Structures are given as C-alpha cells and as structure tokens.
Structure 1
Amino acid sequence: MKKTAPTIRDVAAAAQVSTATVSKYINGAQRFSPKVEAALASAISSLGYKSNPLAKSMITGRTNTIGLSVLDITNPHFSSILKGANRVANDQGYSVLLVDTEETPSRERRTLEDLSLRVDGMIVFSRMREHEMAWMTEIDKPLVFFGSLSELPLPTVASDDHSGAFMLSQHLRMLGHKRIAYLGFSKSRRDEERLGGIRECLDAAGLPLTIYDADAPSLAEGERLCASIVLGSERPDALICYNDLMALGFMKEAENLGVAVPHDLSVVGFDNIPYGKYTTPALTTVDLQSERMGATAMEKLLAVIRGEPVEKLTRIAPQLMLRASTMARRA
C-alpha cells in the first residue's frame, strides 16, 4: 500500500505548533524562537515533508522562476547567454523559463506579457525599436534588457558592439585591406552600433565601405548573398559579417564558388560561437562574452528583485579572436 505523503498538519502536530506557524516558517514569512524553529526543522526532517511549490507560490506570490526571452535559440550566441543566466539562477534557487520569439517582432509583446504572469522577473532580447517598447515599462515585473537604451528607464546589459567592430576593422586595415565590405542586418539595433564602429575606423583611414544587407542573421543568408558579393565587379578583399553564422554560411558557399578564404578575401564575424573555431579556416571574430552577458543580466535582475540599487547600464568589453580566416594583403 502506497504511503501517504506527510502534510503540513502532520508537521504541526509533531512540532506542537499551529499549521499557520508551519506555513510561515516554510515560506520564510516570519522568524520564530530558536526552540520553535529547531522543533519545526526536526519535524520536517523526520517526516520527510516536502512543500508544494504551486501552493507556496499562491501564498507568497513568488514562483522562483525567471523568464528569459531570446531571438533564436538555434543561434549558439543565445545558447551561451542561457547557460550563463541559468548557472546564476540555479545558484540562487531560481529556475529559468525560456521563450524563443524566433526573430519575429510582431509576436514579442504578447509573448512577454504572457511570460510575465508566470515569473518573478524577466530578461529580454528584442528586435523592436526603442520607440516601440514603451509598453515594457508597464509590465508589473522586474525586467532587465539586453542592449543599449537611450530613453526607456530599464536596467540593461550590453556588449560594446561599437568597440568590437572598430577592432575588427582596425585589424583588417593593418593587414593591408583596402576594399572592405560589411554584410549587415539592418533590422537589428546592434547593426547600427557595429556599422558605426566600422565607419569610424575606415573613415579615419580614408577607406570606403560597401554595405550589403541580409534578411536574417543566419547561415542561409550568408550563403545566399555570397555569390552577389564575390562574383560582382567590385569584389572586396575583406568582408565583415554581422555575426558568425552569416560568416560561416558565406565561407561555405565561397568554397563552392571556387573563392578561397583568406587568400582571395578575408572574412570576420561577431559572437565567437563554438563552431567558428573548428571550421577550415577557423574564423576570426569578436568575442562578445555571451555567457558572461547572461550571468551579468541574471545577477542584475535578482538584485532588482531583492530591491537593491543597480546601475542602469552594464557594458561588457569585447575581445578580438584572431584566427586563420584573415591574412595580410601585399602592398
């Protein structure tokens, strides 16, 4: 015969206290004398009592769950962010509930409003422009945003995309590249920051920039646009891609077209996803510290939930990862 699980009444009887006292003790709503707390702890241990998380959340209004909204979970950049966020959450007794908006701005609001009903706070990526996001400040849950915001009063964690793009451009310039192109993704606000860093570097050197725009930040788009870039009349001698996925897709198709990287043109990306290290040639990229970004955002959100003051913007410094997809050009 299956043994019945001990109840809160069993704990109260064993500790010789009221059920209300047991409830307040379990939920951390009140402290008691050392003698009472010792009796409660002993009763819970000896009976093997386990509290019901759903019942606890109904009493406290807390779920001990954090919502994380990403743009595309198949992108290893977001997987690394999840890993960093989840590690910090688990250390603090929280779980992470992940939602994927699949690079679709039109579904973000409904998804995030639904998510807010199930969690104690949220960490959010968004493709929306800032003037379209005012409704986020009306969500009645603590929220940390990924990326820079100029007007909305939300705490944020951001990579320094401008500096990362400047470093990539400077590296290519120092290798002797004169015809540099950018395969960007203008639907992202981060594209604007990256393009700004590239322009700052090339303008200072008096070098032109050719810009191509992708429909999605994906392997398939890098592959699709490759022919128009490398077979055109003005083929660049170096290409900066919006992210590593686009760079890897481009490099694969370039090989199919008989164009050698880096001998015919150098290729670089952003994110330092794991795959880039193991391609041939290995991809030069900017490491935006994805896992650290996730951990930092979670630490900031949990501080907000505890009512602690936090700085509005935490910016993560990038690191240039030099590999074999770039090479010097002859003067």
Structure 2
Amino acid sequence: MLKLLSLIYAAGVARRNARFDSGRQPIVKIGKPVVSVGNISAGGTGKTPVVQSIVRILQEQGKRPAIVMRGYRRTTKGLLVIHDGSKLCAGVNEAGDEAFFHAETLGIPVVVCEDKVEAATYAVKKLPCDVIVVDDGFQHRALHRDCDIVLIDRATLNGQLIPRGRLREPLTAMHRADVVLCVGDVSINEVSTFAQESALVIHCPMRADTPRSIENDAEELQSSARVIAVAGIAHPQRFVSTLEDGGFDIVSERLFRDHHRYTSSDVSELVAEARDTNAVIITTDKDIVKLRPHLFVNGALQAPTFAVSIHAVLENTAFIALLARRTSR
C-alpha cells in the first residue's frame, strides 16, 4: 500500500514540477537577489547552520540579507515580522523556534509566512535588506531564486519518497540546484550522478563549538563533565554522539520530537534531575531559545545549563565567489 501511495505522490510531484518547467506556473521575481537553502527530504539535514553561515558570508561581502521562512510549529498564521532589522518583534512561540533562533542570534530582518513569495516581497519593500535568504526553499518554486542550494545527507541518499520514506522529491530533483552541499559521509561522486554538470558540489562539514554557559558566555564546559543531554531536533542522536565524542559523561538523555515546545513541567523535571544527579543540563543552540524562559525564575538560573552551537564550515572559495556573483545587482 505504501509503495502505491509513494507512486501516486511521485506522479503529483512530477506534474507540479512540469508546470514550473514549462512556464505554465508563474515564477515571481521580487527585484532583489534570492538565495534558497533547502533539501529533498523532510527533516533536518543542517539547513539552519548553513543559512547562518551564508548570512555571515553575505554580510562580509557588504550585503544586507534578510531571512524568509515558513515558521514551522508557530502559534500564529500568515505573515509575521520576527525581527525588523533593529529589534525582535515576536516571541519564540509566535515565531517558531528556527525563525526566532535566526532573529535572536543574527539580528537581521526575519519574516515568516506560509507563502514565501509574500514574505520575500514584504521584506524587500518594507525592511532594510538587499538580498533574501530563503530557509527551506527548494520546493517553493513559485519564488525565483538566483542561487539554489540543496543539502544532501546519507539519510537522503538512502531514502524513499513519502509516505514510504521521507523524500519530498526523487533524487533527480538535484539537477535544479546550483550548489549541492554534501553533509556527513556523503561523497561528491555519489551526488554528482544526480546534479547538473554545471553545479558546484562540495563538502559541508559541521563543527560543534565548546559548550558555553547560558548565564555566562565566557564559561566553557569541560569534557568529562556529568551532563543531561536535552534535544528536540530532527536527529537528536547526532547531538548525543557529538557529546560522547567530546568525552562528556552522559547521565541521561531527554530527547523530544523535532521543534518540541518545552513546558514548565518539562523543565521542572530537568532541573530536579540535574540537582539529584549533580549534573548540568546541556542542549543545542536551537533548543535553548525555547528552554531559557523556563530555566530562569526571578532572574535566577535554576540549574547550570550549557548550549552547544553547530556551525556549517563553508570556506570553499568557489562557493564564496559564486554567492558574490549571484547576489550582485
């Protein structure tokens, strides 16, 4: 049954792409350069750190980027400005965790909307920006993009189409990408089979920084520390493996579904366990934006808590030059 449903799904994807390829479905240009970062599978491949690295590269090139995204699992609907370029305009629940994370850490315009064309159009008209970075935009073909970037990890290469697996499109969709980023142990040769000949196919290593205290950024957590691992991301076991590789003594793992919305009850249990086991809480930089409001009571941190930042290492000179060319107008 799942195989049949996947075939039906594949036919629908093919028809939709054919409409865009033939010009029957319009593609909107917004008058400013657009960089799209996406993937072929449902679930995390590392888009968030890649988007942040691209934003920083564009800033180093003298540009003023804004981020456009859906704002997954937010409590609001429609278009919402999360950061207007000078201040935060919404909280984490209204924004969605990833949008709020971008807004809080980068301090640039961030707009969420189910319709990315609407969000991008609003950003270029109303906010201080000269280039749009779309987070999770590979399938949103109604918006013209000047640079289409797709991430491929091992799970994507070995995957099957929805609902048998987590692929949104077949691997052949990679031929639309201008840049293919190979994540993890994926080799360039494996991906080059599907990418267009002119595409730039490069490795994208992910680097985990030393965990830092959320109370004092200068305080680093030393390896061998007793920790409670907390994560509500797409592949939480990768986070646990990173901690194990770092030599941390993992007392327990509290792993939640992706985009989990933490409650006071969740955090009370974590704090109690940390105190009972003489351990510290350690989590991801994406999770901490949701945990922080519950961890502080009357300004006091209830248990020592550290966050790990993940960075996409994009130092390839050809990639940096390509971004500069595609976003110069």
- TM-score scaled by length of structure 1: 0.44
Structure with the greater alpha carbon radius of gyration? 1
Counting strand residues as a fraction of each chain, which structure ranks higher? 2
Which structure has more RCO (C-alpha within 8 Å, separation ≥ 6)? 2
